[in-house]
Amino acid sequence: MADLPHVSNWVHGSHTSPTSKRVTILNPATEAPIATIDSTPQEAVNEIVLSSLDAFHSGKWSKADSSERFSVLSKAAILLRSRIPEFVELETLQTGRPIREMRAQLARIPEWLEYFASLARVHEGRVTPFKGPVVNTLTRSPVGVVAQITPWNHPLLIATKKIAAALAAGNVVIVKPSELAPLSVLRLGALFKEAGLPDGTLQIICGYGRETGKYLCENAHLAKIDLTGGLATYKAIAPNASTNMIPITAELGGKAPVCFFPGVEIEDAVKAALFAGFIASGQTCVTGSRLLVHDDIYDAFVELLVKRVTALRVGDPTDDRTQIGAVINKAAVERCSSFVERAVQDGGTILCGGKPTSVDGKGFFFLPTVIAVAESSHLACNEVFGPVIAVIRCSNEQEIIRVANMTSFALGASVWTNDFTQAHRVAEQIEAGIVWINGHHLNDPSSPWGGFKESGVGKENGIEAYESYTKVKSTVINYGVKPVWFDDEVGNARYG
């Protein structure tokens, strides 16, 4: 353990001295330790927040011209794109996700920096309609010091999405990455410094969520909290944030239905189900974890699905041939097993998979699993966050829509049909923040991302995300209304 590399917090433009308490990062595919990080205590967290507040008030970034923000974020995109291979290796190492997937995902991440750089450059205020000889201008300014709590499943992607939007708007950012996979996020600090970001504008602090994350989110000097995580984390953060009048953007998970209708080629439908359900070993918030299949194609679909899922290659994530990598830790394996056991108790039928596995006797792996269940079963209604998906037989279109909407989650959904009219009719009725037609997992920096119900509040991506990191000021300019005094006619007065 003494030989393990240690990566300290990134604060004020450099890595700080290591804390006395540390967190060990494991490679989930081998169970071997790969590095240690800081476990940041409350006193240090509070000091970092206060110094970040000073950095914000200094104006070196918050009052920088939009062209300067554009230049810095654009250069960061160039630097990141040139270093994608090293980030791919690091992400694969710390998450256990197949390297072929990481290459595809990380290749697109610079687009978020480019998009928000451009948005910072071109986003304009506006003039609102106002009765009489009065002009009302709306201008936006950064909110202040923002805390971003990011997850382990897409460490670099989700952190970059949040950081790019917040920095483009002129804020000072404190990121607390997951203690399970923080290494790629920590590497962003030096990259942004090289791009020209002023020291103290991006701080990256590490530790357990229940400690460091809690200390950060309880600080009353924050202007905003942006969380990607679970509902329990949101409920732990929200009361204190409410007391301190701190707004929260929260992306909290999902139970995405994948809806298949007659007319879709069975081969295409099965490929869609594999992509929707087993990317990242099912560890995404929009995993297609409920396959809602019309009765007319159900039998043929399930027969081919089982054949293809059974043939998926589980293995070493660094091997280009691997299709299913590791889940993040032992607890994830146990969670998958628990869901399978409960599904069987509820009357479900395991069609394939259903148990843990390993590679060369090591690692946190779970066989890709498909279970036929009833619409109201535990598996059909709750998020697994692993390669365990439910398949549900539905008799008609209205039943598919009803089942799609019967969970407490409403983040993503997809509709697969060759009937253009049906596609729009069904998509319109599905309760979800993102509905794909004949696609799944499609994402773009310009496309708002966020759900309804228990899937969260607010949006990542797009103008919506940028504007959520700003505060709006109305400046009302009177160029023709004479002052009204108490002895003038009441009818001429204007009341606010």
Report the CATH number of the 256-437 domain. Answer: 3.40.309.10
Task: Report whether 318 contacts 327 (CB < 8 A).
Answer: no
Q: pLDDT class for 491, splitting at 50, 70, 90?
A: low
Residue 53 CA, distance from chain mean position: 26
Reading across the β-sheet that carries 290-294, which strands appear in turn? 349-352, 369-372, 388-394, 290-294, 257-260, 412-416, 434-437
Q: Looking at residue 104, what is its pLDDT? A: 97
Cα-Cα-Cα-Cα torsion 134, 137, 143, 148, nearest 10 degrees, comes to 130
Enumerate the β-bridge partners of residue 362: 359
Cα pseudo-dihedral 447, 452, 455, 460, rounded to 10: 30
Q: How much is the pLDDT for 121?
A: 95
Class of domain 6-252+455-475: alpha beta
Query: Distance between CA 353 and CA 327 in Å, rounded?
Result: 15
pLDDT at site 490? 54
5 pLDDT higher than 80: yes
Q: What integer best gives the mean pLDDT of the chain?
A: 96
Q: Which positions are catalytic?
A: 251
The full set of domain ranges for the chain reads 6-252+455-475, 256-437
Are the C-beta atoms of residues 256 and 430 closer than 8 Å to each other?
A: no
pLDDT in tens, 163-201: 999 999 999 999 999 999 999 999 999 999 999 999 999
What is the spatial distance between Cα 290 and Cα 405, in angstroms, rounded to a whole number?
Answer: 11
58: amino acid identity, one letter: S
Distance, in Å, from the CA atom of 182 to the CA atom of 318, rounded to the nearest integer, reads 19
Q: What are the DSSP calls for 289-345, one per residue?
A: -EEEEEHHHHHHHHHHHHHHHHH--B--TTSTT-SB---SSHHHHHHHHHHHHHHHH
pLDDT single digits (tens) 298-333: 999 999 999 999 999 999 999 999 999 999 999 999
Cα distance between residue 323 and residue 84, in whole Å: 20
CA 457 to chain centre: 12
List the structure tokens of 114: 């480019």
Say yes or no to pLDDT of 213 above 80: yes
Strands of 353-469, DSSP E: 356-359, 362-366, 369-372, 388-394, 409-410, 412-416, 434-437, 452-453, 456-457
Please write the tens of the pLDDT for every residue from 429-488. Answer: 999 999 999 999 999 999 999 999 999 999 999 999 999 999 999 999 999 988 776 665
- Contact yes or no for 160/188 (Cβ under 8 A): yes
Write the CA distances from 311 to 22, 272, 306, 385, integer angstroms: 41, 16, 9, 21
Query: Over the stretch 51-96, which tens digit does the pLDDT of each residue have?
Result: 999 999 999 999 999 999 999 999 999 999 999 999 999 999 999 9
- Distance from CA of residue 34 to its chain's centroid? 25
> Which pLDDT score, from 0 to 100, does residue 3 have?
81
